[in-house]
Amino acid sequence: MQTCPLRPRLFFKPHFSKFFENTSTTTTLPMVKHLGIVGAGTMGAGIAQLAALAGIDVVLYDINDTVLRQALERLKRSLNKAVEKGELNSEQSTGAFSRIHPRTRLADLSHSDFIIESVIEDLRIKKDLFKHLEAGTKSTTILASNTSFLSVTAIASATRRAEKVVGLHFLYPVESVKIVEIVQTAQTSQETLQQCHDFLNQLGKTSVAVTDSPGFIINRLVHSFHGEALQILGEHVADAEQIDRIMKAEGGFAVGPFESMDDLGLDSLLNATKSLFDASSGDSRFRPHPVQKRMVESGLFGKKSGRGFYTYEQEKK
């Protein structure tokens, strides 16, 4: 096992965004003032910070009060760290934090212009949630899912205003990766699409509109990045460290495929791969690799467990 220090990395260097075109038109609709976020996990909290720094009032909802408290602590640390690095001044940090309002009642999202759902990747749970969100919000509110691989069309089918339902697929880490996929269904209206482009522009993101399909664009590319590396490893052509080193030195990637898998968590990636495989009707390109399965079965999840393709020295609190 290789030893690797615990530090955050990006999948791709920032210039990756140049391969995508922002497809918004010149018409600009009113800016978003009130954002609702359902789910205070890593992604939900990251989106909340991003929006608060853009001057948007955010209602951050989670059914679990402990999860909410932990999210607020992480947000405070993140903002303080940005001040220490000189990326923000203290007034900007304090102002952003004051715009994030933790709530445990779904009804508190009723005045939101936009709602972004970022809960567990379970279609039944998401459909039930969207049904409740539709009933408790304005008819003009856009309902967006941060799903990585589930069908947005299926999620929208739980509502009676599918024209207002989209996928907004933010990538981890939210604050660093510029690309956000807008996943449109056959029912998504052009006005909704334009509002999404304008909202993401407001957040300083580069948006790309994609059609609802298994894995969208990014996850299919990332799967290939990981999948072919696993295939090479499984055939004993090269080891993980060699493959990562070549991909960074010659391929121009900021992080190698095995470092990337350790960053994201091998268990989470295995679940995502299984879902992509099922959603694509068993397309062999997306079949989970035996190496992935064995490592997850052995409890080797990557950074979160201290061992994956590499071993990690945990940071002292």
Active site residues: 148, 169, 181, 219
Q: Which residues contact 154 (CB under 8 A, 6 or more apart)?
A: 123, 127
Q: For tokens 């993401």, what's the residue?
A: 200
Residue 271 φ/ψ, nearest 5 degrees: -60, -40
ω before 173 within 30° of 0 (cis)?
A: yes
Q: Which two tokens stand for residue 255?
A: 């992080």
The answer to whether 289 and 277 are in contact (CB under 8 A) is no
H-helix or E-strand containing 78? helix 65-84
**Partners of 310 in the beta sheet?**
2
Residue type, 297: E
Residue type, 16: F
H-helix or E-strand containing 58? strand 57-61
- Alpha carbons within 13 A on the beta-carbon side of 47: 29
* SS3 (DSSP) at 63: coil
Q: Which two tokens stand for residue 230?
A: 């696993």
